[in-house]
Structure 1
Amino acid sequence: MSTLERLPITGTTRDLDLGAAAGPVHESVLDAIGSTPLIRLRRTASHLQAAVYVKLEQNNPGGSVEDRAALWTVRRARADGSLPPGGTIVEGTSGNTGVGLAVVGAQLGHPVVVVVPDGTSAEEIAVLRAYGAEVVVVPGGVPRDDPRHVHHTAVRLAAEIPGGWLAHPDDDPDDPAAHRETTGPEIWAQTQGRLSTFVAGVGTGGTISGAGEFLKSVSGGRVRVVGVDPVSSTCSGGDASSRAVRPGVLDAVVPVEDRDALLTGRRLAREEGLLVGGSAAGAVAVALREAEGLGPHDVVVVLLPDPGRSPSSKNLNDTWLRRNGFLEGGVERPVRDLLPAGALDAPGPISLAADLTVGRAAELAAGQGALGRTPLAVVLPRRDTRRPLPLGDVVGAATLAGLRHLVRDDPDLAHVPLREVADAPLPHVGVGQGADEAWTALGEFPAAWVLVDGRVAGWVRRARLDQGRTPEDGP
């Protein structure tokens, strides 16, 4: 008799006798949250003595580690009465948390309202609506203290909706608790207490704080807990959202460059059959480095929070990687070879904050040695001026000659914000793109920014790209 024929139609999970080779049987989708597998990196980590495993959180029903915290926090709110029966769950998010809450809300009978910034992809919004969530789109570029901000909008809606409940206030203790009670114990049991190092993205702090706290405690402090942070986030000196990392849990916070993360993700897909997002790939890059000094009895586990199969995921697209300066080699006459020696060694083009007046911008550009028609980047005000510009900060272009011409023709324009008179942003080409492809990307523009690792490292004029094109391309 087959396994399926032995299933009692009216039985419970306690009645089933499926054998060791069969998968679990659950009474609801909520029972499938957690108990995610560990998978060993056989090829990517083949040069190491230590065993390196990834914990595949994309196997949760909603596709990410956020399912755990969503279930935990909703159950707690139902138990203490802060979320009444049939009450509305409200969340402000641009990530996977909204999906996790939508999954839980659908199963437990709670309407869900998710507030997202306007940069959220159409695909992500469609997924939320497919689960039955109401999606409220708000401006994404406003400061946190602006009443239109995602968080403030969610707070307001939770107060206005009868029976409304804000899922994740700033001081929410449930996110770390969910991982202290589920993720950490799972990893310890799966590694049979042999775990040496636990690596995870810092994120908002909940996952690594909760799981790390448990692993530190159960191992008597033996397990090393390593947080991974993109170079542009708070822990590494940037301006990301606030963190909630528990003091004493992390042994180290390691910054990871975009190039390392993206190229590691590319390797995981090709060598291990794993599609992961950029943050997960960055965590693996750090885990591989952490494992280099370990021995054959050591075990490293790195948590992968979500998959990389989203239509908005570009880290697996070679064309995107090359166009944004992350991938080089394999093309004839790359942009790098067409630039003057040392052109990309400087900090990048001169940048001017968009809220400067035109007169002040011209003064600053001249003081920094700008030539008359050299492209100047008009940027959002930023805290970190030491690194080349992130492309996303560039909102326009200008030249010193153009600014002076404006003021000469209309002196009143000297007092107008630069953003109001700046030209459209220049197109961009990657340092590893071929001349033919880069020339096409220029369109009608006379020049383009040159990207290295997603940042504006220089610029190139159309005439230089013309020099590298094949003769048959024509004028």
Structure 2
Amino acid sequence: MKYAENILGTIGNTPMVKLNKVTKEIDALVLAKVETFNPGNSVKDRMAVKMIEDAEADGRLKPGGTIIEGTSGNTGMGLALGAIVKGYKLVCVITDKQSKEKMDILRAVGAKVVVCPTDVEPSDPRSYYSVSRRLAEETPNAWYVNQYDNMSNTQAHYEQTGPEIWEQTDGKITHFIVGVGTGGTISGVAKYLKERNPNVKIWGVDTYGSVFKKYHETGIFDENEIYSYITEGIGEDILPKNVDFSLIDGFTKVTDKDAAVYTRKLALEEGIFVGNSAGAAIKGVLQLKEHFKPEDVVVVLFHDSGSRYVGKMFNDDWMRERGFLDEDITKAEDLIKDHIEKPLVVVRTEELVSHAIERMRKYKISQIPVIDINGFVGSVDETDLFQSYISDKNAAEKPIREVMGKPYPIVKAGTPVEEISKLINKENQAVLVDLGDGRHHIITKYDIIGTIK
């Protein structure tokens, strides 16, 4: 009989899959190491169990102890599997940019989840780095994993992932490309592959808002490079000890939009349902295509499962809100189709300025058309109201007709976007679309900006 003693025995030996459609413009063999086949559905299972076992061996993790870690979700899942099998408690500290699915999955496998804000400095006491350390100090019999600086992370991939890739390609691999977060995967695999063949090229995929690419190229840790980004699982605002820059030949950066779009492409064109960092990784491969020759064997690693991102990259509304869906927007009706069912917010000439302000706050809008019994007769925007208040502190009690500006131009639903763009300027902040049957909708400059690719 063939069976694993427990779920941890199924980690590793993930398949290598040839990519076909999404890489058709690349004149080389491109293979994907699909890590979603691990029991926790990500590459992080490998290093999570390795870190636990090494901590057990040297006494950092004691029987009945509590494992504490800051994680984007996947390491937490791997740690959870180890904690369940080995009898530990687990606290996962996660940032609020991570998908709800990741948080729900961690809770489903028994982890306590603590959520921290994303947009704070690493040294901020609210950051998930700081909270993780504090909880480890305050919790009796606790072990803080610290996957960023825990070198068992790199060692797991040196012992497992690197040898698997070498064997599966029969030693013919020429390039290895992977997203870089903690650095364990790229460094461990790179160390093994370069020991076997120093000519293997190692490329890291970075994201905009992260410090890796510039630091690798210049040695400068530029804090101006750090800003909030959407892509999950790769990029950092710190330099983890697991990132061995000496083993990496170069980095390429991928935008949030491209990462999201290519995540969906992998599912639609290859039938490979993987996560956000995989989309970034395959776009990185495409950006590096001039480095490949026909006889090359290029391996790209896909970190985790698409199931973690059903509410994000695989949700049309989420993609549309961020301008990540490439839809043809050519006419007025295209600009408003996502909110066409919402009623037009208006204010009447005899209502008070305070009523308009209240409506702007309630609906989070900046422009409102003004009507009387004959139809549209004027407009107000937040700038007008602000100027009125500056000149007269009692402006809130004035009727709208005393402060309103010109009425917004009215266009047909089929009016080209180019014509609408010309109508919006400093003097005119919006355009009304006539939908027929007495119905109208508003287009603002932000709707136009949203069409820019």
Tell me the TM-score normalised to structure 1 length: 0.66
2:140 counterpart residue number: 162
When residues 268 and 138 of structure 1 are mapped into structure 2, their CA distance, relative to the original with a 3 A threshold, is closer
Alpha-carbon offset, residue 98 of structure 1: 1.1
1:62–1:100 CA contact under 8 A, matched in 2: yes
The answer on 1:188 being equivalent to 2:186 is no
Between the aligned partners of 1:258 and 1:35, the Cα distance in structure 2 is: 30
When residues 405 and 93 of structure 1 are mapped into structure 2, their CA distance, relative to the original with a 3 A threshold, is farther
1:302 counterpart residue number: 300
Corresponding residue to 2:44 among 59, 62, 66 = 66
Amino acid across the alignment from 1:215: L
When residues 103 and 322 of structure 1 are mapped into structure 2, their CA distance, relative to the original with a 3 A threshold, is same
1:52–1:291 CA contact under 8 A, matched in 2: no
The answer on 1:123 being equivalent to 2:101 is yes
| 1:386-438 Cα deviation digits (max 9, x unpaired) | xxxxxxxxxxxx9666666666678xxxxxxxxxxxxxxxxxxxxxxxx79xx
Alpha-carbon offset, residue 332 of structure 1: 5.3
1:322 counterpart residue number: 320
2:211 counterpart residue number: 234
Q: How does 1:275-424 map to 2 (within 5 A)?
A: 275-330=273-328, 333=331
- Please give the secondary structure, in 2, of the residue aligned with 1:171: coil
1:419 counterpart residue number: none
Alpha-carbon offset, residue 192 of structure 1: 0.5
1:448 counterpart residue number: none
Corresponding residue to 2:16 among 7, 16, 38 = 38
Tell me, which stretches of 5 or more residues in structure 2 are unaligned? Answer: 214-224, 228-235, 337-364, 368-380, 394-412, 415-424, 441-453
Question: Which deviates more from structure 2 when the two are superposed, residues 257-266 or residues 117-126?
Answer: 117-126
Q: How does 1:150-229 map to 2 (within 5 A)?
A: 150-168=128-146, 171-219=149-197, 221-229=198-206
Between the aligned partners of 1:119 and 1:134, the Cα distance in structure 2 is: 18
When residues 407 and 141 of structure 1 are mapped into structure 2, their CA distance, relative to the original with a 3 A threshold, is farther
2:157–2:188 CA contact under 8 A, matched in 1: yes
Alpha-carbon offset, residue 304 of structure 1: 0.6
Alpha-carbon offset, residue 33 of structure 1: 1.2
The answer on 1:243 being equivalent to 2:243 is no
When residues 199 and 334 of structure 1 are mapped into structure 2, their CA distance, relative to the original with a 3 A threshold, is farther
2:115 counterpart residue number: 137
Tell me the TM-score normalised to structure 2 length: 0.69
Amino acid across the alignment from 1:471: G
2:100–2:311 CA contact under 8 A, matched in 1: no
Corresponding residue to 1:265 among 263, 269, 279 = 263
Q: What is the aligned length?
A: 349
When residues 191 and 145 of structure 1 are mapped into structure 2, their CA distance, relative to the original with a 3 A threshold, is same
Amino acid across the alignment from 1:252: G
Amino acid across the alignment from 1:136: V
1:230–1:257 CA contact under 8 A, matched in 2: yes
When residues 51 and 108 of structure 1 are mapped into structure 2, their CA distance, relative to the original with a 3 A threshold, is same
Between the aligned partners of 2:72 and 2:311, the Cα distance in structure 1 is: 14
Give the percent of matched residue pairs that are identical in Structure 1 and Structure 2.
39
- Please give the secondary structure, in 1, of the residue aligned with 2:69: strand
- Please give the secondary structure, in 2, of the residue aligned with 1:195: coil
The answer on 1:96 being equivalent to 2:74 is yes
Amino acid across the alignment from 1:65: V
1:203–1:243 CA contact under 8 A, matched in 2: no
Alpha-carbon offset, residue 57 of structure 1: 0.9
- Please give the secondary structure, in 1, of the residue aligned with 2:136: helix
Corresponding residue to 1:49 among 18, 21, 27 = 27
Amino acid across the alignment from 1:321: M
- Please give the secondary structure, in 1, of the residue aligned with 2:174: strand
RMSD: 3.2
Question: Which deviates more from structure 2 when the two are superposed, residues 104-113 or residues 288-297?
Answer: 288-297
